[in-house]
């Protein structure tokens, strides 16, 4: 009996080692982790379409809010459990760290295949956000590491109805900073709310600082400051910080803007309670949901100086990356090619009111969204600069601008303080 048991055991053990009977391999399932709550229904629909066409199942998994998503991605990266496709919500240095840790596939060969057909179908500025150039300061090998899903630009908006109430021409938004400040006085006299934005979340302050830094000193000097070649105490930087003081003094900023979260800002603007807003192109969808009758238009931030053009933050709104360690990476790349093709992009733009990353789909989007798309030439983004500022310096600028607005610091004091932090960080790096 004992003998039979031992023999049976052997049979069971070695049957496990035997080669499996040949069977048709099931198509893989591509797993995508995303954070875009508003796009979830559209993604699910596209996943079904893709399965019907290719036989490959795409599993979109939503993890929101974005903070939680970000954290999940980091933890998954540490445990090497990233899905086939994912996004990175962070700054360029985070993106670079993921690439250097071997988590992200270099998509350059796929982009350049067939005479660069995939690359050429996408907006250059959107692609640039996912691209690292030769000799970048992050030490990342040159290449394209992400696929833009849509395009975002952050601009100013004005309420046409409130413009009429203020006795202004609704078709003539202010072009110069002087005109903008003049409107501020009218807003204050009419006891209205001026510019609303999520400046409590600080990163939007950073956007506007960059816009005006480009306008006042030009891109080269701006980047030289980041490299540590120009001081923040330079008169041009003091001028940039002074812009916020002037805005506050003119009455063009809404009360409480320094602690305002963007959702509140969006509610105020959508409900005709603020004349101006500083917001991203995603707002078209948000405002539509809050007040479909809102009568508004997009405008560039009014220029302070004429020598250099104003820049606006933008580029890829959301991007997807392919896990370099995934066994389904080829299928994942194919799926992303399909997702960014003209038809799917047009559907996404229509369903989610976001600017498509595919150039050919732009013709099919609604008018107000097109106003955001018109200024793609002026777009800049930290990912495209090749250098990045120390986070502590950025925080000091953003919080310092809040201090200027509440009258706690002067632009000169802020400039000195930021430069001190910059020097401390540079010393640490050395």
201 binds other proteins (CB under 8 A): yes
Burial of residue 345 (CB within 10 Å: 0-12, 13-18, 19+) is buried
Strand partners, 108: none
CA–CA separation, 82 and 72 (whole Å): 9
**Is residue 81 near other proteins by the rule CB under 8 A?**
no
Closest CB to other proteins among 57 and 273?
A: 273
424 lies in the binding site for other proteins (CB under 8 A): yes
Of 269, 358, 339, the closest CA to residue 46 belongs to 339
Closest CB 236 distance from other proteins, rounded Å: 23
Question: Which parts of 250-289 interact with other proteins (CB under 8 A)?
Answer: 254-261, 264, 273
From first CA to last CA, the distance across the chain in angstroms is 76
Cα separation of 300 and 375, whole Å?
A: 8
CB of 323 to other proteins, least distance (A): 14
Cβ 249 to other proteins, closest distance in Å? 16
| Residue 189 contacts other proteins per CB under 8 A | no
Q: Does 101 bind other proteins (CB under 8 A)?
A: yes
What is the rounded distance in angstroms from the CA atom of residue 240 to the CA atom of residue 7?
A: 84
Residue with tokens 């933008």: 314
Which of 28, 170, 200, 309 lies at the binding interface for other proteins (CB under 8 A)? 200
Residue selected from 43, 69, 98, 177 as contacting other proteins according to rule CB under 8 A: 98
Stretch that binds other proteins, among 55-63, 99-107, 305-313, 349-357 (CB under 8 A): 99-107
Nearer to other proteins (CB atom), residue 44 or residue 66: 66
Phi, psi of 334 (to 5 degrees): -60, -40
Residue with Cβ nearer other proteins (54 or 70): 70
Do residues 193 and 274 touch, judged by C-beta distance below 8 A?
A: yes
Site residues (CB under 8 A) for other proteins, limited to 359-418: 391-392, 395, 399-400, 402-403, 405-406, 408
Cβ(274)–Cβ(195) under 8 Å?
Answer: yes
Number of residues that bind other proteins (CB under 8 A): 40
Q: Which stretch binds other proteins (CB under 8 A): 72-80, 171-179, 237-245, 279-287?
A: 72-80
Query: Quick one: which of 49, 94, 246, 375 contacts other proteins (CB under 8 A)?
Result: 94
| Nearest CB to other proteins, comparing residues 229 and 408 | 408
The correct pick among 62, 97, 324, 370 for binding other proteins (CB under 8 A) is 97
H or E stretch covering 164: helix 160-165
- 77 binds other proteins per the rule CB under 8 A: yes
Task: Report yes or no: 207 and 366 within 8 Å, Cβ to Cβ.
Answer: no
- Beta carbon of residue 256, minimum distance to other proteins (angstroms, whole number): 4
- Name which of 195 and 405 has its Cβ closer to other proteins: 405
Got the DSSP string for 47-102? HHHHHHHHS-EEEEEE--SHHHHHHHHHHHHHTT---SEE---S-HHHHHHHHHTT
127 close to 148: Cβ distance less than 8 angstroms: yes
Give the list of residues 6+ apart from residue 354 with CB closer than 8 angstroms, or none.
39, 150, 151, 152, 281, 282, 285, 317, 348, 369
Smallest separation, CB 376 to other proteins (Å):
29
Q: Which residues bind other proteins (CB under 8 A)?
A: 67, 70-71, 74, 77-78, 90-91, 93-94, 97-98, 100-101, 103, 193, 200-202, 254-261, 264, 273, 391-392, 395, 399-400, 402-403, 405-406, 408, 424
């Amino acid at each position: 009996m004992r003998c039979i048991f031992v023999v049976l055991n052997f049979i069971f053990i070695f049957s496990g080692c035997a080669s499996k009977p040949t069977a048709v391999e099931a198509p893989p399932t591509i797993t995508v982790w995303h954070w875009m709550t508003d796009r979830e229904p559209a993604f699910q629909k596209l996943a079904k379409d893709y399965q019907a066409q290719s036989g490959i199942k795409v599993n979109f998994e939503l993890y929101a809010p974005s903070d939680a998503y970000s954290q999940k991605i980091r933890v998954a990266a540490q445990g090497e459990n990233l899905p086939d496709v994912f996004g990175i919500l962070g700054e360029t240095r985070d993106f670079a760290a993921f690439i250097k840790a071997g988590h992200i596939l270099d998509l350059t060969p796929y982009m350049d295949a067939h005479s660069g057909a995939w690359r050429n179908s996408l907006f250059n500025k959107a692609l640039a956000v996912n691209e690292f150039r030769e000799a970048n300061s992050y030490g990342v090998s040159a290449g394209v590491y992400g696929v833009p899903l849509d395009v975002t630009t952050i601009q100013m908006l004005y309420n046409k109805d409130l413009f009429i109430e203020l006795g202004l021409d609704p078709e003539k938004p202010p072009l110069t900073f002087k005109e903008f400040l003049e409107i501020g006085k009218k807003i204050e006299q009419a006891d209205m709310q001026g510019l609303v934005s999520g400046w409590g979340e600080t990163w939007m302050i950073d956007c506007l600082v960059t816009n005006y830094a480009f306008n006042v000193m030009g891109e080269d000097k701006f980047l030289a400051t980041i490299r540590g070649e120009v001081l923040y105490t330079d008169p041009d930087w003091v001028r940039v910080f002074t812009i916020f003081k002037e805005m506050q003094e003119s009455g063009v900023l809404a009360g409480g803007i320094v602690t305002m979260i963007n959702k509140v800002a969006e509610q105020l603007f959508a409900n005709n309670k603020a004349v101006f807003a500083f917001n991203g192109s995603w707002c078209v969808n948000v405002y539509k949901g809050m007040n479909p009758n809102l009568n508004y238009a997009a405008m560039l931030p009014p220029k302070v100086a004429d020598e250099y053009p104003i820049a606006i933050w933008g580029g890829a709104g959301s991007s997807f990356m392919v896990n370099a360690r995934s066994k389904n990476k080829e299928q994942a790349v194919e799926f992303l090619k399909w997702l960014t093709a003209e038809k799917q992009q047009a559907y996404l733009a229509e369903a989610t009111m976001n600017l498509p990353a595919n150039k050919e789909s732009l013709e099919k989007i609604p008018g107000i969204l097109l106003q955001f798309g018109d200024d793609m030439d002026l777009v800049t983004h930290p990912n495209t600069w090749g250098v990045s500022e120390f986070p502590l310096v950025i925080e000091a600028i953003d919080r310092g601008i809040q201090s200027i607005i509440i009258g706690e610091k002067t632009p000169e004091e802020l400039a000195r303080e930021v430069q001190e932090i910059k020097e401390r960080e540079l010393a640490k790096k050395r």
